[in-house]
Each structure stands twice: as C-alpha cells, then as structure tokens.
Amino acid sequence: MLIPITHILLVIFKSFSELYRVLKIGSMCLLYVPFLYCYHAERGYYYDYWRFTHDSLEAFAKSFSTVKIQNVRGPLETLVRLSSLGQGNFFSKCCFLS
C-alpha cells in the first residue's frame, strides 16, 4: 500500500489543529514522540521538517502560545524501550531506564 507523504503531513497538521481547538484556554497538552534518527539539518541554513524534530514540532504547534520541547531520553535508551528488550522487566532495574 502506498500513501503519499502529503496525506500523512495533512493528518498531522489536522491533529495539531484539533488539539488546539479542543484545549481550554490555559490548559496544557503533553505529547511524547520517540525519535531515533540523527538530526541532520544545519541551523541557520536549512531545517529538518520530515521527522519529528524540534523544527517540525515547532511548526506543527505554531498556533499554541507556548511550546516547550524537551529531550527525554537518548537514542540508545529509546531504542531499548521500543524494542522487545524494553517490554519486560529485565532492564527495569537499570538506572538510565528508570
């Protein structure tokens, strides 16, 4: 099945528009986006809007009055969390996965 990327981007923009519409004034929205790809844009020259980078999240959320983006985990920890290794209790005792 082939889905043009423009349809995916349209759904994402519509999703952020809907979040903006339904949130009450003064309320907060917390989004979590796992990110495993290297950021390869060069600030000041070009940006990376094709993945959920700081650039694209800021563009998607431009209607919101305040946007705070915080890295939560590094690439190795995110990969472990998303893999089958992170689904069990084996890594739950590790200090960087708590």
User: pLDDT, tens digit, for every residue of 2-42?
Assistant: 555 566 777 888 888 998 999 888 888 888 887 777 777 77
Which residues does residue 42 pair with via DSSP β-bridges, in sequence order?
Answer: 46
Which pLDDT value is given to residue 98?
46
Q: Answer yes or no: pTM beyond 0.75.
A: no
Rounded mean pLDDT, 65-85: 78
Q: Record the tokens describing residue 35, joined without a space.
A: 């990110």
CB 55 within 8 A of CB 47: yes
Give the distance, in angstroms, between the CA of residue 36 and the centroid of all CA atoms in the same chain. 10
Q: Which two tokens stand for residue 72?
A: 């939560």
